[in-house]
Amino acid sequence: MQRSTKVTEQTLTGTNIVNWIRLLRENKFKISWRYLPRALFISLVTTLTAPIALYEKLRYRKKIKQTKITKPPVFIIGHWRSGTTFLHTLMIKDQQFAYVSNLIAFMPSIFISGGRFFKHALKRFMPSKRRMDNMKLGIYEPQEEEYALANLSSMSLYHGMVFPQNLREYSKYCSFDGLSEKKVTKWKKIFQRFLQKITYYSNGKQLILKNPSNTFRIKLLLAMYPNAKFIHIFRNPFDVFLSTLKMYEELFPYFFLQEPYTDNEGQEFIIDLYEEMFIKYFAEKDLIPAGNLIEVKYEDFVQNPLHGLQAIYQNLGLEHFDESCACFNDHLESIKGYKINKHKLDETIIEKISNRWQLTVQKWG
């Protein structure tokens, strides 16, 4: 795994002081000396933005609380590196949808009041492209709402990227299985308020959200949004493994505040989490009402994205496909030269994945 000494590319700079202290306390303030500047940077930013966060909370709390989510959210789910970002980036070209941008995800407490000012700082600190696949990473590009939840609470898998010594502990917040009802209720309240905030900010548009962690949460999300729509995009498991491993090796080191896991521990964690995800998904997907789920094969979708989008709109009963075709085409033309990373499998990995991921290997080949 590569090392990085970069200080400013931190996912937690948009958290609040209370949550930041809570996370430090949960991890017993164990910060590696080499990463202390990162912790100090997060502390500085959270302190500077605290007055704006307080103002935004007081100014908009009542309006957000009164906001109704009248249109069923659309959840794009699937394992990391399965094409969720490609699909999400394409679908938000349809102006009927509201989505979580990088600005919202990394500054969830201040994006209404301070977004215009802090967008320049965020743009300066963010790389222009994602490190693991060179996809564009602008402040208004779509992002997983899991980053926002990590900034708003201490209950997210993504805290494991920051505190890697507790990576497995934080993975419990994918499904919430075995955790107290109090924690589940608290998470649901935070999630609901966040979605209300985006709905208020977007003047009531339908939400389209992309978050691999939600693949674990079908039952939980249906309890909150019974008519929610789900798009599950899946990909060759062998490609998923190598692409996810590349993400762990090339992206996560920029966020560490502790000495990381070993390469072998990282591989085992990827394998275990994938297994847990799809055992959970296949156990719960039949709870989704008829007409509210479509499963999309990534390899087919990238061959003919417009055909794939049309099937998604038809199956889920979404409107305005024809009106948005020009926007879809424009985006596809803009990324025409983009090349997907190529990965090489060795026999050891093939054997391990074939044995451990039989559930999907047998289903998808």
- Give the CATH number for residue 111: 3.40.50.300
* Residue 6 resides in a domain: no
Give 333: exposed, middle or buried? Use CB within 10 Å, 0-12, 13-18, 19+. exposed
Q: What angle do CA 4, 41, 136 make, to 5 degrees?
A: 55
* Residue 27 resides in a domain: yes
* Residue 337 resides in a domain: yes
Sheet of 293-297, strand order = 97-98, 206-210, 74-77, 229-234, 293-297
Cα separation, 293 vs 300, whole angstroms: 17
* Residue 329 resides in a domain: yes
Cα separation, 293 vs 290, whole angstroms: 7
Q: Provide the whole-model pTM.
A: 0.94
Per-residue pLDDT of the chain (365 residues; tens, 9 = 90+): 556 678 988 999 999 999 999 999 999 999 999 999 999 999 999 999 999 999 999 999 999 999 999 999 999 999 999 999 999 999 999 999 999 999 999 999 999 998 777 777 777 777 777 766 667 778 899 999 999 999 999 999 999 999 999 999 999 999 999 999 999 999 999 999 999 999 999 999 999 999 999 999 999 999 999 999 999 999 999 999 999 999 999 889 999 999 998 988 999 999 999 999 999 999 999 999 999 999 999 999 999 999 999 999 999 999 999 999 999 999 999 888 656 666 667 777 888 888 899 889 888 86
* Residue 63 resides in a domain: yes
Distance (Å) of CA 69 to CA 96, 175, 204 = 14, 23, 7
Number of domains comprising the chain = 1
* Residue 336 resides in a domain: yes
Range of the domain at 195: 11-364
* Residue 2 resides in a domain: no
* Residue 3 resides in a domain: no
Cα separation, 57 vs 64, whole angstroms: 9
